[in-house]
Structure 1
């Protein structure tokens, strides 16, 4: 049922504007809704940005731990294949060399002389490896040698430099927004030291 416009209903709206039942909103009501909505958007936005930053830090930290695990696996595998360790002149920062026993040369089938693999820090904050190429099968090709960066922004620090059978080391991996330091200890395989 449609109510006709009467003077009494018009006076009601003028005397009590917030309690009047009209087909719209007053400017004051719209402003209040906008302020409340804007405040909620600002709070939600800051929570989302905080969550994204936290997630990014966690992902970077996990990536560093994964890299440490891969580096440790590579180094422990090569140390385990060696028969002796030697160290540089400065114990903590010069790196170490693994002497590998006489093994067949995979590129031409002949027997190779013993080879060495050296891990060291270069002057640019990178961990380097000098030694036989690693084939896609994981075997070493004693007929070739390469000097390559194993991992960028990685510092190798040795804890002991007097044991030809065991090396204790720490790796510090750095990437924004943080760094990760892990330690490990590896032994060469049993056998006589020449």
Structure 2
């Protein structure tokens, strides 16, 4: 988010990205200095925006307003409730926005390594450290196995060379 007073700098700072071709993507949105507060829409149940706490700061009002617009999905406890609302989300990560339904199972929804929201990231860091330790252990095991395979290959090459030297002799007498 870019404060209205800093928007000119944001545009200048982003423009070189277009010509640089570094593979980066930047999306920014102008946040007006003053905004008329609207009454939040009343919902008959829990919506996604209600599940998020917004930290105090200069963008708090803006974020709260955007969440009421963009995260107004009903937190459905089951598929029946999910189907009965135009905008809904399930605990398992299925999202309905009108006629569009989306379920992305490329990653587990309960995997803290994928979590983005929040200001307490100890669980995410711990999960990433656990994953790193497991990967380092796997790497050590593969390295040990690879060293053994190299030793085995060298031994087989030595035997092959010895057999090739024996092949040079045409008779037992020459040997």
Judge same fold: TM > 0.5, yes or no. no
Structure scoring higher RCO (CA < 8 A, sep ≥ 6) equals 1
Q: Which has the larger radius of gyration?
A: 1
Q: Going by fraction, where is strand more abundant, 1 or 2?
A: 1
Q: Going by fraction, where is helix more abundant, 1 or 2?
A: 2
